[in-house]
Every structure is written in C-alpha cells, then in structure tokens.
Structure 1
Amino acid sequence: MEQVPIHRTTRQLIEQTRARSEALSQVEAMMAQAKGTAHDVDQTMEVTVDAHGKLLHLWLAPTAVNWGAERLGSLIVEVAEVAHREAVQDSYNKVALLLGDETTAMIEQISGLPAPARTPDDDNGLTAAEFQRRREQRLAQEAPSRRAPQDDDDVYAFDLASLRSDR
C-alpha cells in the first residue's frame, strides 16, 4: 500500500473531522424530512411516505371503492412502494449535498438500500444513441430550409448527461 503524505496541519484535520461529524449528525434529521408522493395511473389515490416508509398521507377518490377491497389494498401498497422509492432518493439527494457523493455512497452500502436511481430495474429512458438517432430522424423530416448545424455551433448541442441524474 502506497503512503500518501498529508499536507494539512493537525488543527485542520481536527476541524475537518469535527465538521464531518456535525454533518453526519444531521443525516437522520434530513432523512426524516425526505418525503415521496405517488399516485396511481387512474388518479384514484395519492400516497405520501417518508424515507423510512412511514405513511404520512393517504388520499382516496370516491371511485376507489370500485377496485374492490383486495385490489384496492394491493394497489395502495404498490403506490406506497413507488412513493417510498421517491422518498429514499430524495433523502440521498439531500445527504449528498451535505456530505458529498462518496460518503453518501458509503451510507447506501451500509444501509443496504441503494439509491433508486441506480437500481438495475430502473427505467433509464432513452440511451444516448437512441436519443441521437431520433433527433437526426426528426431533423431530416423538417423543412429543407433549416440550416445544418456547424461543428462549432452550440445552438444545436445538448448535454445528454442533463437528462438524468442518480442524485
């Protein structure tokens, strides 16, 4: 293992450790503030939960009784699970702003609950290649009078990384 010299004073290291300790003490409070809200496709219910899965709000439309007791119960659970994933992601987003990505990733590993944005079954939407293919197809169908973008023309540039974030 290679040793890397530390270029900070002992006082700076102590201050940094205290600052991190104080930030870590705020994690639980931040997670308690995180909430997630979801609704079913038919808009017959809305569920809000916190990052621990605690039910904070349940709204049912009068038409929700049409689902029947068994289906309504399972639908509430499904919607609550979606809301919980949103709340967990919200909590990780808040913690990452406070502690940084590396520490947040460590918290994810310790908790055993990965950020929903990084789960393998998450719908990542379009790939960059598919987005570009559709863009080129759309531009080809537009009027020929439209000028083609130049290499140095930023007007048509788009950063695909801005479409989705795992934080």
Structure 2
Amino acid sequence: MDQVPLRKTTQELIAEADAQQEAFAQVGAIMAKASGTAHDADGTVEVTVDAKGKLRNLWLAPTAVNWGPVRLAELILEVTQVAMREATQDSYNKVALLLGEDLTYAIEQLSGLPAPARAENDDPGMTVEEFQHQRELRLRSTQRGTSSPSVSSAPEDDDWESFDPATLRSDR
C-alpha cells in the first residue's frame, strides 16, 4: 500500500475535527426545528409535525364532519404521513447544509429513514439541464419578440429570468 503524504498540519487536522464535532453537536437541535405540513386535496385536513413526529398543528375544516369518524381518522393519518415525510426531508436538508452531503447520507443510512426525495416512486422534478434549456428557449423567444410553442404560456412562466435554479429539487 502506498503512503500518501498529508497536506495539512496537525493543528489544521485538529481544528477540522473540532469543527466537525461542534457541527455534530448541533444536529439534534437542527432536526428539532425541522417540520412538515401537509393537507388533503379538498383542504379538509391540515397537519404540521416536527421531524420526530410530534404533532404541532391539526386543522380541520368545518366540512370534516361530513367524512364520518372512520374515514376522517384515515384521512388524518394519511395527511400526517405526508407531513412526516416532509419533516424528515426538511431535517435532512438542514443537516446537509451543516455537515455536507456525505455525512448526511451516512446519518440517513444509520437512522434507517432515507430521505423521501430518494424514494423510487418520487417525481424528481425538473432537472437543472431541463430548466436551462427551457430558459434558453424563453430568452430566445423574448429577444425575437415571439413566443416559442415549446414553452408553456402559463402565468408563472413570466418570471423565469428571476428564478433561482438552486431551488430546484435534488435528492435532498
């Protein structure tokens, strides 16, 4: 096995280890602040939970009584599960900002709760490449004063130039 020389001093390595230890100490507090909110399609139930599953808010529309007790209970549980996935994802997103992707992925593996955005059946959303392509088409059509048939004319498309690609969904 070849030896690879270290490019850092002992003090630099100790400082990095101390910084990592301090960051790990903050993980619990960061995860405690994470939350997720979800609601059903009809707007009958809205649930907010923290990353540990603690119920923070439950809102029921007056029409919730029309569902009946069994179906309403099922609906609350379904919405709570979605909120829990959102809270889990939010906690991993926040931890990743502190620890980086590799250490956060290790925490996912150790916890047994993978990030919901990694689910096989999850819609990955628009890729950065697709966004850039759509933006180029939009800019070209704006410069020529015409609209491109391949670009949607929905009202939200009017703000493509100010859209921040960093907000696109990734696996985090």
Question: Which TM-score band applies after superposition, normalised by the shorter structure?
Answer: 0.7 to 0.9
Deviation per residue, 1:37-73 (Å, 9 max, x gap): 0001110111000111111110111110111111100
TM-score, normalised to structure 1, is: 0.78
Supply the distance in 1 between the matched residues of 2:104 and 2:2 (Cα, whole angstroms): 26
Q: Secondary structure at the match of 2:48?
A: strand
| Equivalent residues of 2:88, 2:116 under 8 A apart | yes
Q: Secondary structure at the match of 2:93?
A: helix
| Residues 1:147 and 1:114: Cα distance change in structure 2 (over 3 Å) | closer
One-letter amino acid of the structure 1 residue matched with residue 104 of structure 2: T
| Residues 1:35 and 1:63: Cα distance change in structure 2 (over 3 Å) | same
Supply the distance in 2 between the matched residues of 1:147 and 1:65 (Cα, whole angstroms): 48
| Residues 1:127 and 1:93: Cα distance change in structure 2 (over 3 Å) | closer
Supply the distance in 2 between the matched residues of 1:87 and 1:160 (Cα, whole angstroms): 23
What is residue 121 of structure 1 aligned with on the other side? 121
Deviation per residue, 1:3-46 (Å, 9 max, x gap): 43221111111111010000001001000000000001110111
| Equivalent residues of 2:126, 2:169 under 8 A apart | no
Deviation per residue, 1:105-157 (Å, 9 max, x gap): 1111111111111111212246899999x99xxxxxxxxx8498xxxxxx99x
What is residue 8 of structure 1 aligned with on the other side? 8
Q: Secondary structure at the match of 1:52?
A: coil
Q: Secondary structure at the match of 2:94?
A: helix
Structure 1 position 26 matched with structure 2 position 26: yes
| Equivalent residues of 2:124, 2:170 under 8 A apart | no
- Cα RMSD (Å) of the superposition? 3.3
What is residue 142 of structure 1 aligned with on the other side? none
1:164, CA displacement in angstroms?
2.3
Q: Secondary structure at the match of 1:29?
A: helix
What is residue 112 of structure 1 aligned with on the other side? 112
1:76, CA displacement in angstroms?
0.4
Q: Secondary structure at the match of 2:46?
A: strand
Unaligned runs of 5+ in 2: 136-144, 149-159
Q: Secondary structure at the match of 1:58?
A: strand
One-letter amino acid of the structure 1 residue matched with residue 171 of structure 2: D
Supply the distance in 1 between the matched residues of 2:130 and 2:45 (Cα, whole angstroms): 34
Unaligned runs of 5+ in 1: 136-144, 149-154
TM-score, normalised to structure 2, is: 0.76
How many residue pairs align between the two structures? Answer: 158
Aligned counterparts, 1:65-76, within 5 A: 65-76=65-76
